[in-house]
């Protein structure tokens, strides 16, 4: 008996070819992995920056170093920085405390005064730049902090609750400080974050005897692009108890 089966039915069938590309599941997994890597990189950068901040605050590198240098000068010379040894006023630069840059002790004047007194200098940015410290802000852009000393008005309690008056304190002035670093300095030195009270204050609040309540630091680290973060001037009282 002759078969009438169609020969085409004996041909091997080929499974349908998969379209080129990725499935939605594969794309989702890839995006999740990329997001995790970006988050890990950001966290790592934040931790590294925080570690740098802690070192420059506490170690001999900069802020802690200049605090120690000021103390060493005072003990060794028997008077505060560039005071009159014959008739000490107890004030930096003999109390020339007007808010004028030329009356602050900065740069070479500060370095030379310390070296003449035999005081070791913090490393800062290196030889010739001991009063400066370079660091990165949260956008990864460079900032240049500078230290000076000056006798300035400082708001202190006046005996009654909620009453304050101006006194003169010897102050370490830190310029070009990012807001997050300013808050960390405040927390490290005072144990709380308050721009008005304590030994660490924002410049605009340091002498305000008319402000009787706490103030937040006036800036934050938010920017609309990758530009440098706006900076603050921080005052640290060297006479604070």
Q: Which of 41-50, 88-97, 124-133, 138-147 has the lowest mean pLDDT?
A: 41-50
Q: Which of 161-165, 181-185, 206-210, 224-228 has the lowest mean pLDDT?
A: 224-228
Contact 81, 92 (CB under 8 A): yes
| pLDDT band, residue 116 (cuts 50/70/90) | very high
pLDDT, residue 65, reads 92
pLDDT, residue 22, reads 67
- C-alpha to C-alpha distance for 164 and 6, rounded to whole angstroms: 107
Structure tokens at 204: 């605009």
Mean pLDDT, to the nearest integer, of 212-219?
92
- C-alpha to C-alpha distance for 155 and 214, rounded to whole angstroms: 13
pLDDT, residue 233, reads 95
Establish if 33 belongs to a structural domain.
no
Query: Angle at which helices 63-77 and 24-58 pack, to 10 degrees?
Result: 0
Mean pLDDT of the chain: 83
38-70 confidence digits (pLDDT tens):
665 555 455 455 555 666 666 557 899 999 999
| pLDDT band, residue 159 (cuts 50/70/90) | confident
Residues counted in the chain: 241
Establish if 11 belongs to a structural domain.
no
- C-alpha to C-alpha distance for 202 and 179, rounded to whole angstroms: 10
Is pLDDT above 70 for 101? no
- Domain carrying residue 100: 57-237
Give how many domains the chain has, as a whole number. 1
Q: Is 209 exposed, middle or buried, given 0-12, 13-18 or 19+ CB atoms closer than 10 A? A: middle
Q: Which of 10-19, 149-158, 181-190 has the lowest mean pLDDT?
A: 10-19
Establish if 140 belongs to a structural domain.
yes
Establish if 6 belongs to a structural domain.
no
- C-alpha to C-alpha distance for 199 and 186, rounded to whole angstroms: 8
Alpha helices by DSSP H, the chain: 24-58, 63-77, 107-116, 179-190
Establish if 123 belongs to a structural domain.
yes
Establish if 7 belongs to a structural domain.
no
Establish if 120 belongs to a structural domain.
yes
pLDDT, residue 96, reads 76
pLDDT, residue 56, reads 60
| pLDDT band, residue 105 (cuts 50/70/90) | very high
C-alpha of 129 from chain center: 18
pLDDT, residue 95, reads 85
Establish if 36 belongs to a structural domain.
no
pLDDT, residue 151, reads 93
């Amino acid at each position: 008996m002759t078969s009438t089966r169609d020969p085409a039915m004996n041909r091997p069938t080929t499974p349908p070819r998969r379209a080129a590309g990725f499935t939605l599941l594969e794309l989702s997994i890839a995006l999740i992995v990329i997001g995790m890597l970006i988050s890990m990189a950001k966290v790592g950068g934040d931790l590294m920056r925080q570690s740098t901040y802690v070192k420059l605050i506490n170690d001999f590198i900069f802020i802690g170093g200049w605090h120690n240098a000021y103390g060493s000068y005072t003990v060794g010379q028997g008077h505060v920085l560039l005071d009159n040894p014959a008739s000490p006023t107890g004030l930096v630069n003999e109390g020339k405390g007007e808010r004028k840059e030329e009356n602050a002790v900065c740069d070479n004047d500060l370095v030379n005064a310390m070296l003449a007194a035999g005081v070791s200098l913090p490393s800062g940015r290196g030889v010739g730049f001991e009063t400066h410290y370079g660091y990165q802000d949260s956008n990864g852009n460079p900032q240049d902090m500078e230290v000076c000393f000056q006798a300035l008005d400082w708001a202190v309690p006046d005996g009654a609750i909620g009453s304050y008056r101006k006194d003169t304190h010897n102050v370490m002035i830190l310029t070009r400080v990012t807001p997050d670093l300013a808050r960390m300095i405040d927390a490290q030195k005072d144990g709380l974050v308050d721009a008005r009270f304590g030994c660490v204050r924002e410049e605009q609040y340091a002498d305000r005897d008319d402000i009787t309540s706490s103030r937040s630091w006036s800036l934050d680290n938010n920017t609309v692009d990758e530009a440098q973060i706006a900076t603050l001037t921080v005052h640290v009282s060297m006479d604070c108890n």
